[in-house]
A and B are shown apart, each in its own frame.
Chain A
Amino acid sequence: MNRHGHFDALARTLHWLMAAAILAMLFIGAGMVVSLAWRPTLLDLHRPLGIAILLLVVVRLVNRLRSPPPPLPADLPAIQKLAAHASHWVLYGLMFAMPLIGWAMLSAGGYPITLGGGVHLPAIAPHSADLYAVLRPAHTVLAYVLFATVLGHLGAALFHAWVRRDGVFSSMARSGKSLR
C-alpha cells in the first residue's frame, strides 16, 4: 500500500495550512475589488494574510530542501510527471511572487503597508506611477494564474486519489505511520 514515502509532518501541516490560506486569499482578493461594502474589511485581512503566506513559504521551501518530497510513482506517464513538477514550481514561484508583488505594488502606489494594530511594513519599491501601472495588473493576472494552478493541482491530487489510487494523495493527506 505505502508504495512510496510520505511528506513529513511539518510539510503536511504547512501544505494544508497554506492551502486554506491561499484559497482564502484568492477569494478575498477577488471579492474585495468588486465590493462596495467589504473592501476595507477584506483589505485588512488580505495584507497580513499575504505576509503570513510569504513567511510560511520561506519555512516551507527550507523544509522541502532539507526533507525532499517522496518521489512520484515510477509508472506515472512522463507527461504527467512533467506537469506535476512544472505546476509545483509555478505554485512555489507564485507563493513567493504574489505577496512580494502585493507589497511592492502598495509601495509603488504610495500606500502604507499596514498589518493591523499599528504595525506596518516599510516600502520595498519606490512610489511610482510607472511601477504601479505594471505591478497592479500583474497582481491580478498572476492571481488568476495561481487560482488556475491551484485548481489543476486539486484536480490532479484527486485523480491520484480516486483514479490512479497510487498513494500520491495519501502521501500528503496522512502520515506514513498510521498505515503501517
Chain B
Amino acid sequence: MSQPLPPNPPPARRSAWPALLGIAAIVAVIAAAFAWVGGWLGGRGLTPQQMTDTIENGKPHPGFRRAHSKGVCVAGNFQPSAQAAQLSRARIFTQPSTPVVGRLSIAGGDPHGADAQARVRSLALLLKTDDGQEWRMAMNSFPFFVVATPQGFQAQNLASRPDPATGKPDPAKMAAFLQQYPEAKKFFAWAKSAPWSNSWANTQFNGVDSFWFTNAQGLRRAVRWSMRPHAPFQDLSTEQRAQSDADFLSEEFATRLAQSPQQWDLVVTLAQDGDAIDDPSQPWPDARPQVVAGTLTVDAMQPQDTGPCRDLNYDPTVLPDGMAPSDDPILAARSAVYSVSFNRREHEIGTGQAPDATGAKGEAK
C-alpha cells in the first residue's frame, strides 16, 4: 500500500461477526442433530416411550411391569441335555446345572387382573452360568406373535382400546387394524380356538422370536425355542373359567409345587432355508427338526412384590456368547419397551411411589 496511512491507524482487523455466526451455526447444527437423534424434534417414527404410554393407557400401576403385570417369582434350575452343546457353545449347555430366577405371569396391564380372563400366559427366565454370562428369556403361551412389526402391535393396542361409549373395542377400528395387518387374523383364530389349560405347569411357553445359535465348531443356525411341560395337558372348561378364583393360577401352582417340582423341556427348533427368521408372526412348519436341549425344573415360588424377579428386566436380547438375536423387529422392540417399563417402575419403587408393588401397602409409612 503506497497510500499515506491516516494517523493512529486501526489495526487491520476483520469483523468478528462472520466468525461468530459461523461458530453459532456449527454449534446449532450439532445441537439440532442431537435433539433429532434424541427424539426431541419428532420425526423418529414410533418410539418405545409411545408404545409404553399406549400400553399404560393413561392408567399406569406404579411399580408394576406395564405389561404382563400380574405374576409370581419362581426359582429352580436348568440342566442341559447331551445334545445341547451341538447347538450352541454357550456355557449354559455344558454346565451340569444352572440356577434359574424366573417369573410366571398373565398378559395384561392389571396387576390384580383375573387369571381366568387372560388368554395369554408367560414365563420369563434368567439363567446365570458360573462364568457370569446370562441368558434371559421371555416366553408366551401363544405359538406365534400377533403381528410382524412393532408398528402393527401399536396399531393393535390402539384399536383394541375400549370405546368410552360402549366400554368395548370399536369394531370398525379392529376391522381397519386387521385390514392393515392381516397376519393378525391367524392369531385371533388361535385365541378363539386353542384350548385353555388349567395350570401354568401344563402350559407350553414359546420364545416366538428367532435367534442365532453358534456352536463350538462355528456352525451358525437360526432357532426358535419352547418350554414344553412335563405335566399333561388338562382342559379348563368355559364353566370352570367362569367359576375360578381370580388368583387360581398361582394357587394351583403352589399346590402342585407342594407335591413335586414342575418341569419343562427346552425344545429348540431349527430353521430351514426359506423359514421366516425375522418375522415372529410366521410359524415354522411342524416338520422342522427339534432338539430337546435340556430340562427346566421349578421348585420354588415367591410373591413378586418381595421376590427376586421384581427388580429384573427379562430382556430377551440378553444372551450369552454362542447365542445372538435375529433381526426380528419385534425382538428389538421388546428390548426397547421392556427397558422403558423397567425404568419407570424401578423409579417408582425407588422413590417410594409403589407401595402396592413392593408389599409395603398398609404398612406404616
Contact = CB atoms under 8 A, between A and B. Distances in A.
B23 A36 contact: no
Contacts of A133: 346-351
Interface in A103-132: 109-112, 114, 117-118, 120, 122, 127-132
Given A27-B34, A129-B350, A136-B343, A111 B329 contact: no
B302 to A, nearest CB: 16
Contacts of B335: 39-40
Contacts of A109: 311, 313, 342, 346
Q: How large is the interface on A (under 10, 10 to 19, 20 to 34, 35 or more residues)?
A: 35 or more
Nearest to A23: B30
A163 B16 contact: yes
Contacts of A111: 313, 318
Contacts of A163: 16, 19-20, 23
Interface in B310-365: 310-313, 317-318, 320-322, 325, 329, 331-333, 335-337, 339, 342-343, 346-351
Given A36-B336, A37-B332, A163-B16, A154 B26 contact: yes
A162 B22 contact: yes
Given A110-B311, A131-B350, A158-B26, A117 B321 contact: yes
B350 A38 contact: no
A35 interface: yes
A37 B325 CA distance: 12
A155 interface: yes
B49 interface: yes
A171 to B, nearest CB: 18
Contacts of A159: 19-20, 23
Contacts of B322: 118
A163 B342 CA distance: 48
A118 B23 CA distance: 44
B311 A129 contact: yes
Contacts of B321: 117-118
A129 B332 contact: no
A140 to B, nearest CB: 10
Nearest to A39: B336
A137 B347 contact: yes
B16 A40 contact: no
B325 A40 contact: yes
Contacts of A118: 131, 133, 320-322
A167 B134 CA distance: 52
Contacts of B27: 151, 154-155
B285 interface: no
Contacts of B26: 154-155, 158
A15 to B, nearest CB: 17
Contacts of A147: 34
A37 B350 contact: no
Nearest to A40: B317
B110 to A, nearest CB: 21
Given A117-B321, A120-B132, A34 B350 contact: no
A110 to B, nearest CB: 5
Q: Which of B27, B34, B339 has the most chain A CB within a 10 Å cutoff?
A: B34
B216 interface: no
A115 to B, nearest CB: 11
B347 A34 contact: no
B64 to A, nearest CB: 13
A39 B334 CA distance: 10
B346 A129 contact: yes
Interface string B8-39: 00000000100110111011001101100111
A154 B322 CA distance: 43
Interface of B: 16, 19-20, 22-24, 26-27, 30-31, 33-34, 37-39, 44-49, 51, 128, 131-134, 150, 310-313, 317-318, 320-322, 325, 329, 331-333, 335-337, 339, 342-343, 346-351
Given A133-B346, A133-B347, A163-B19, 9 more contacts: A30-B38, A35-B336, A36-B48, A36-B332, A39-B339, A128-B350, A130-B349, A155-B26, A158-B19
The 9 closest A-B pairs by CB, nearest first: A133-B350, A118-B321, A30-B38, A34-B39, A162-B19, A129-B349, A39-B336, A36-B333, A40-B317
29 contacts: A26-B34, A33-B38, A33-B339, A34-B44, A34-B47, A34-B49, A35-B48, A36-B150, A36-B329, A37-B332, A40-B325, A40-B331, A109-B313, A110-B313, A111-B313, A111-B318, A112-B128, A112-B133, A118-B320, A120-B133, A129-B311, A132-B350, A133-B348, A151-B31, A154-B27, A155-B27, A158-B19, A159-B20, A163-B19
Interface of A: 26-27, 30-31, 33-41, 109-112, 114, 117-118, 120, 122, 127-134, 136-137, 147, 151, 154-155, 158-159, 162-163
